[in-house]
Structures are given as C-alpha cells and as structure tokens.
Structure 1
Amino acid sequence: MATSSYKEKVVKMIKCFCGCSDMTVEEVQRIYTLTNSVHETLLDAEATKLLRRFMELRRSGDKNEAEQYLEIYEKCAEFLQEAQRTFTQDEVDELCDLGLPFDLEQDLSKRMLSGQRTDISLGLYRIQSKCRNEIEASSDFREFRDAIRDKLRRIPK
C-alpha cells in the first residue's frame, strides 16, 4: 500500500455571488480587506472582477453610473499599459462611448493633441481618479463590501 507524502488539507470554499465558482475563505477575506480602499480594490484583478460581476447581477436594464465608471477606469488602465501605442482620437471616442464626462473628454482631447505621452498619461490618471471617486461614492461599492462581509459571517466556525 502506498503512503501519501503530503498531509491532507481541508479547504473551505464559498460560492461566488453569481454561484458560478467557488472561492476559498482566505480569498474572500483578502478581497474584503481590499474593500477598505476603492483604489486597492481596483488594482486587484480578482477583486475588480468580483465587483463588476456583483454590479452586473444587481442591474436591471442599462448600466448605472458606477458600472460605467468602472469600465472607463479599466479602459484607461488598458491604455496606460500600452505605452508604445500612439494615442489618437479613436481612443478618446472609445472612452466617450463608455460614458466619459464631457469635461474629461475635453481635457484628454487637448492632451492628445499635444502628442506628449506623459501628458496623455496624466490625463488618463486624472480620469481614473475621477472614476475611483465616483465608484467610492456610489451605493454599489458600499453594498458590494457589505455583501462580502455578510458572506464571511455565514462561514461556519
């Protein structure tokens, strides 16, 4: 009879908001800790994915402002990753299609015309800052954090 060279571990799993996958208790606790800061939440791919899914499940009809700001934030992050790519009016239009406010569109268009990547990046960071503030002010983020807390409370001790 073969002996096992590893110890059996019990891993507690929790259903995702949508019921589509399981998460470890540790992962849920980690994400809950991140929700103390919208900034930290948005920097974490898994936490952002969970926030997006949470908002999608609660939606009835069109996307609300918080969802639009989340999409704009993520698109800006994508543009910031592509440092070698030329930033054009097409990218500004893409952000506008997602719901970019007019004042931020005008600012980014001016920066785009300068052709200075650093200036364009500063504009994208400015947009992300506005998006973070709007997401933080939304009831969606508070309710997301509360839902995670409630999920943790249901874990058997």
Structure 2
Amino acid sequence: MLMLVLIAIVILVGAAVGGVTVLSRRQQASTAAANQVVPGIATRAPASWAGSHDPEPRLHRRLRDAMRALHTADALDDATTIVLRAELEQAALAWDDRLVAMAALPAAALGDQRATATQAVESIEAAVAQYVSAATQRTAAEVTAGLTAARAQLDIQAEIRKSLEAR
C-alpha cells in the first residue's frame, strides 16, 4: 500500500513538473513571437525589451507596432504594393538590428545616433501610415498618391541610414 502511494506521488510530481515545463516553453515562444518586428522573422532584441523604458527598446516596440499595422492592410496587395511592403519590412528589420547594436554601446559613444534612429523610426511609421491610408482609398488615383507618399517616407529613412553609415 505504501508503495502505491509513493508511485502515485512520483507520478503527480512528474506530471506537475512536465506541465510547468510545457507552460514555460509556451510562454517563452509567445514572448519571442510578440517581440518580433516582422511576424515570423526572429529579432535580436532581448525579451527584456518588452517592458523597458530605455530609448532603444521603445523604438523597437514602435517598429514592431508599425509592422503590425502594415500587415493589417494586406487587402491592397498587388505586385507594386508587395514590393513596397517588403521594403518597409526590410527597413524596419535593419533599424531594429541597429537599435540592438546601439543598446550595447556606452552612452558616451552614441552621440546623436539615438536622435537619428528616432527620425528613421518616425519616417517608417509615416510610410506605414501612408500605406495603410492608401489601402482604404476608393479610387486608383488616391491609392497611387498614398503609395507615392509612403515611398517618399521610405526614401527619407534610407537617406537617414546612409548619413549614419557615412559617419
């Protein structure tokens, strides 16, 4: 009888440990997915950035939120818009990687990189806003105008990145 009780306890403890492990893995996977700038593409940003108030994590979350908004407007997808959307995603991923690298630098070494990164993130956000706005327009001319404005914002972001890389 004592042996059956011990076996039952071992089974219950094993089940509890297994359950906690499964829940922990699910939570880690959920956190990693929520931290991705572009859904399905891993980020180098640490999970701790999810709630950090430091400048780089906040900019990371702004990029993530902009890309989520971008993915809500996929009804507009055609050959032209898919290319523009992919370029927006690539720009966001490039800036996200730069933010991770910047966070590792001492504050004295950053110079005006944070301000430059903020401008670039704002430009990406503006491009996404133009893209999403274009997706809701009724006429082809309005859609084209919105996509042209989004492209202009994307070009601004590219110039910001080039100026930072030239330093």
Please say which structure displays the higher CA radius of gyration: 2
More helix by share: 2
Structure-1-length-normalised TM-score:
0.36
* Higher relative contact order, chain-length normalized (CA < 8 Å, sep 6+): 1
Given the two structures, how large is their TM-score scaled by the length of structure 2?
A: 0.34
